[in-house]
Chain A
Amino acid sequence: MSDEDIVNNNLTALVVDDSPMIRKLHEMHLKKFGLKVQVAENGKNAVDLFRCGASFNLILMDKEMPIMDGAEATKELRIMGVTSMIVGVTSLDSIFERQAFMEAGLDHCFTKPLTSENIIFLLQELNNKNNEEN
């Protein structure tokens, strides 16, 4: 993928995290790569957005959130039939906890902090996914 391809995409993303700082950080990170970004402050808000008909190519999902955490929200979205790429972004360092989060239905799981390399990887995955579906 050329650098131009990477930035000229029509991809949309949803950043789900209860920390305003992380939401702002990840939103900017993704915007820098040309994605259109929305944010949600917990799992329930994310699920509600989908229930109202919104959809996104990519969801960055934090694990620890009040009201509905990342694992619950991921399970819920998968049950609803959401096929977006859902990527966990968490500071959990226990392998056991990360595995449990993956099993909720994640496509990938990264440790905080998110890096540009992580995003480039995801964009390539999304590109592959789009190509497969077309």
Chain B
Amino acid sequence: MNIVNQLQRQFIDFSTSLHREGFVDDQFTQLQKLQDENSPDFVVEVVSLFFEDCEKLINNMARALEQTQGVDFKQVDASVHQLKGSSSSIGAMRVKNACISFRSFCEAQNREGCLRCLQQVTHEYSLLKNKLQTLFTLEQQILAAGGSIPVVD
């Protein structure tokens, strides 16, 4: 097996594991399908924007939960809601699911529960960031070796 085939095999296995482990869902596949020769960096750009969004929203949630005079749970919920929307739009399934649990704690105005959820969301976001970075690196390696990126359905 030459180097391109090896890398392509690695890519397919890694992609499949991302889906199997719930990091991404079909929405992410749809995102990948939107990329073409005219916009070869589309997925990377959208994912970068998503991570910028994540960081901003996670900071908002953290600040709101730190308020000692009384937490504005509506504000926290608004940020979680936004993050849920963004994550479902790119297929970041585990981040989205973490947001769903988070919202119920906001509704219950449970600060401790919210703080735990914030940790969970932050954790899922970091995991996903690493996973996608690995995926993009594999893609770059395949292209550099003269191969094409396999389509994984």
Pair from one complex: yes
| Residues of A that sit less than 8 Å from B by CB | 19-22, 24-25, 28-29, 32, 64, 91, 112-116
Stretch from B83-91, B116-124, B134-142, B145-153 contacting the other chain: B83-91
Cross-chain contact B46 with A21 (CB below 8 angstroms): yes
- Residues of B35-53 at the interface with A, using a CB-CB cut-off of 8 Å, are 39, 42, 45-46, 49-50, 52-53
Return chain B residues, CB-CB under 8 Å to A25.
31, 34, 46, 89-90
Q: Given contacts A21-B53, A24-B45, A25-B46, are A91 and B34 in contact (CB under 8 A)?
A: no
Q: Are B50 and A21 in contact (CB under 8 A)?
A: yes
- Is B111 part of the contact surface with A, judged by Cβ < 8 Å? no
Tell me if B85 and A91 are in contact (CB < 8 A).
Answer: yes
| B-side contacts of A64, CB under 8 Å | 78, 82
With contacts A25-B31, A32-B34 known, is A91 near B88, CB below 8 A?
yes
Min CB distance A91 to B, Å, is 3
Cα-based distance from A113 to B53 in the complex (angstroms)? 16
- A115→B33 CA distance, assembly (Å): 12
Measured between C-beta atoms, what is the minimum distance from A107 to chain B in Å? 21
0/1 string, B73-111, CB within 8 A of A gives 1: 000001001101110111000000000000000000000
Residues of chain B having any CB pair with chain A under 8 Å: 27, 30-31, 34, 39, 42, 45-46, 49-50, 52-53, 78, 81-82, 84-86, 88-90
B34 near A29 with CB under 8 A, answer yes
Which residue among A32, A113, A114 has the maximum number of chain B CB atoms within 10 Å of its CB?
A: A113
- Chain A nearest CB, measured from B151 CB (Å): 16
- Could you tell me the distance in whole angstroms from the C-beta of A30 to the nearest C-beta in chain B? 10
Q: Could you say which of A22, A32, A115 has the most chain B C-beta atoms within 10 Å of its C-beta? A: A22
Decide if B81 touches A91 in the complex (CB within 8 Å): yes
Q: Which residues of B contact A115 (CB under 8 A)?
A: 30
CB neighbours (8 Å) of A91 from chain B are 81-82, 84-85, 88
Question: Contacts A24-B49, A25-B46 given: A19-B30 contact, CB under 8 Å?
Answer: no
CA distance A95 to B70 in the complex (A): 30
Given known contacts A29-B34, A112-B88, A20 and B49 CB-to-CB distance under 8 angstroms: yes
